[in-house]
Amino acid sequence: MTTISIDRASRWFGNVVAVNDVSMTIGPGVTGLLGPNGAGKSTLIHMMSGFLPPSSGTVTLDGIQIWKNQQAYKQIGLVPEREAMYDFLSGWDFVLANAELHGLPDPGAAAKRALATVEMEYAQDRQVSTYSKGMKQRVKMASALVHDPDVLLLDEPFNGMDPRQRMQLMELLRRFGADGRTVLFSSHILEEVEQLARHIEVIVAGRHAASGDYRKIRRLMTDRPHRYTVKSSDDRALAAALIADASTAGIELDYKERALQIQAIDFYRFTELVPRVAKEAGIRLLTVSPADESLESVFSYLVAAK
């Protein structure tokens, strides 16, 4: 049982606050760190992996400070986001070097086991520079697993992976979580996170926006007013029909754009309502587009709601 605790940690770079007063506890099992790009996910992971001291607050591994504590790496496996590795080595030499650097009693056996876990034995004798992005990701993974760590930290591990590689990695991480290891990965894609992580921590603009079970996060993200822009052959008639239903909260007729700006409060019911109403009234729908579906707006809603 290994736990990472972040207690009121902030980190700023000059005038820019990257992480703002965040507290969270990452325990055994798979945790997803979700947030848009630039939210401070990497900064948090750098603090958890001892590559950045918090400007204030503490980041500890089982109660012991991680920054400047090289012994912590006996328990931590880190998969960095950056791709740079020792490209001139073969996959085997790279993983073996990592095993040796950990001072393992039998580095050869450890490297072999780690490469088998990520199913990279078939390419282990090729130079890392010849690997595809997914292969590099797997070798990075093997290098992080080579000492059988209790904690695995992965910064955007699914970036650039194809669906099959993604499934494989997810399966692997699930297995580690089930073994009782503490696995934390970051991502900016909700679907990715909820497929894998039971527990999700959401971070937006450096702040801790939400925390909990994936169902709770999904609900938070869908149960909110959604805005749509709708164009049709008869905007006024459509507006009249839609406002009668409880799933809409407000409709504005935008003459300049010749469109309806609709605020929906029940997402699922509304998406089913629009085509049905239009069909019944014989109105042609020309455009139905969500006005604020960007991840950033979803997240900022969460922050405001908190």
Partner 1 sequence: MNVTVARLTARGLLGRRRGLLLLALPVLLLALSALIRGVAGQDEGTASSVLGGLAIGTMVPLVGLVAGTGAIGPEIDDGSIIYLLSKPQPRWKIITSKLVVAIGCSIVFAALPTYFAGLILFGTFENLTLGFTIAALIAGVAYSSLFLLLGVVSRHAVVWGLMYALLWETVVGQYVPGAQTLSVHQWALSIGQKIASPGVISSSVHLPTAVPLLIVATLGGAWLASARLTRLTLAGEE
Binding site residues, partner 1, CB under 8 A: 13, 18, 37-43, 46, 49-53, 68, 70-74, 76, 78, 80-82, 84-86, 88-89, 97-98, 100-103, 143
What tokens were used for 24? 């969270």
- Distance CA(101)–CA(129), nearest Å, equals 21
Shortest reach from residue 102's CB to partner 1, in Å = 6
Whole-angstrom distance between the N-terminal and C-terminal Cα of the chain? 31
Shortest reach from residue 36's CB to partner 1, in Å = 10
Q: Which is nearer to partner 1, 15 or 70 (CB)?
A: 70
Shortest reach from residue 81's CB to partner 1, in Å = 7
Reported as half-sphere exposure (CB side, CA atoms, 13 A), residue 146 has a value of: 32
Contact 23, 9 (CB under 8 A): yes
Under DSSP, the state recorded for 104 is: -
Contact 11, 47 (CB under 8 A): yes
Written as one letter, the residue type at 120 is M
What tokens were used for 23? 């507290």
CB count, 10 Å around CB of 141?
Answer: 24
Q: Which is nearer to partner 1, 24 or 79 (CB)?
A: 79
Q: Which is nearer to partner 1, 80 or 91 (CB)?
A: 80
Q: Which is nearer to partner 1, 31 or 42 (CB)?
A: 42
Q: Which is nearer to partner 1, 21 or 257 (CB)?
A: 21
Under DSSP, the state recorded for 129 is: G
- Distance CA(136)–CA(120), nearest Å, equals 10
Shortest reach from residue 94's CB to partner 1, in Å = 8
Q: Which is nearer to partner 1, 37 or 56 (CB)?
A: 37
Contacts 24+ apart (CB under 8 A), 239-242: 241/277, 241/280, 241/281, 242/273, 242/274, 242/277
Shortest reach from residue 171's CB to partner 1, in Å = 25
Shortest reach from residue 107's CB to partner 1, in Å = 9
Q: Which is nearer to partner 1, 182 or 232 (CB)?
A: 182
Shortest reach from residue 80's CB to partner 1, in Å = 5
Residue 7 phi, psi (nearest 5)? -120, 110
Contact 117, 69 (CB under 8 A): no
**Residue spans of alpha helices (H) in the chain:** 41-48, 91-101, 107-117, 133-145, 163-178, 190-196, 214-222, 235-243, 267-281, 295-305
Shortest reach from residue 42's CB to partner 1, in Å = 4
Q: Which is nearer to partner 1, 5 or 43 (CB)?
A: 43
